[in-house]
Amino acid sequence: MHLWSLPPRLHILARRLTQAPLQRAFLKMRVLVITGAGVSAESGIPTFRGKDGYWRNLDPIKLATSEAFARDPELVWQWYYERRERIRNAQPNAGHEAIASLAQCADEFLLVTQNVDDLHERAGLAKAEMVQIHGDIFVTKCSRCDFEQEHEQDQNGVPRCTKCDALMRPGVVWFGEPLPARETERVENYLQRDSCGVVIVAGTTATFGYIIDWALRAASSSK
């Protein structure tokens, strides 16, 4: 059983994962990697729980809720526009790149990331090998119907749905909301299909029960 829980300092992971003997060892393994905000923090993306996460003196944990959106959608959108801009200007770091190269040498690979940014993808990881369990910040979806758009031009104010005219919202999972069923199912299928040879948990304090549950189940099923 190999369950590695690594500190947020991702360069340690990066250095280990790019060593040839370790990469060879992963060749015939099914790998599960779980990442959190600590991975993107090294690219300059502030974590919600760090002091840099505050925006205009507002606590992100209170902004990322459907209640905040109902109260002041314009304020919430302004925060997301600025976060999108910051992510566009950021670059994937050695941790993202190491995970992408690990995916290439593993027999089977799945990344479950709690990050809503696109840095894993920009480091070269295919979308098929990745589950963004808390959504994608570059998706804009309708708050009423199933209409959604990806990577559209940011505008000012609150966008409206072209299908039903309801307010559009960012395509992320807010506090208190259920996880997207389709994405949860992809994780469950991966865990149930076969055992994992190695499980890596990086850059997360694993606050959420489901993250701990997936990591432990994958690790306990490993041989």
- The catalytic residue positions are 134
Residue 32 interacts with Zn ion (CB under 5 A)?
no
**Which range of residues in 7-15, 68-76, 137-145, 188-196 is near Zn ion by CB under 5 A?**
137-145
Residue 145 interacts with Zn ion (CB under 5 A)?
yes
Residue 147 interacts with Zn ion (CB under 5 A)?
yes
Amino acid at the residue 110: L
Single residue of 15, 127, 151, 163 touching Zn ion by CB under 5 A? 163
**Which range of residues in 18-26, 38-46, 99-107, 158-166 is near Zn ion by CB under 5 A?**
158-166
Residue 142 interacts with Zn ion (CB under 5 A)?
yes
Residue 160 interacts with Zn ion (CB under 5 A)?
no
Of 130 and 168, CB closest to Zn ion: 168
Q: Using alpha carbons, select from 34, 40, 41 the residue that is nearest to residue 6.
A: 34
Of 53 and 159, CB closest to Zn ion: 159
Using an 8 Å Cβ cutoff, are 129 and 148 in contact? no
Using an 8 Å Cβ cutoff, are 5 and 89 in contact? no
Residue 161 interacts with Zn ion (CB under 5 A)?
yes
Paired tokens of 116: 């809503």
Of 48 and 174, CB closest to Zn ion: 174
What is the full DSSP assignment across 155-217?
Answer: -SS--B-TTT-PBEEEEEPPTTSPPPHHHHHHHHHHHHHS--SEEEEES----SHHHHHHHHH
Per-residue x/- track, 88-127, Zn ion (CB under 5 A): ----------------------------------------
Q: Using alpha carbons, select from 192, 30, 10, 212 the residue that is nearest to residue 99.
A: 10
Phi and psi angles of residue 207, each rounded to the nearest 5 degrees, phi first? -70, -35
Q: List contacts with Zn ion (CB under 5 A).
A: 142, 144-145, 147, 161, 163-164, 166
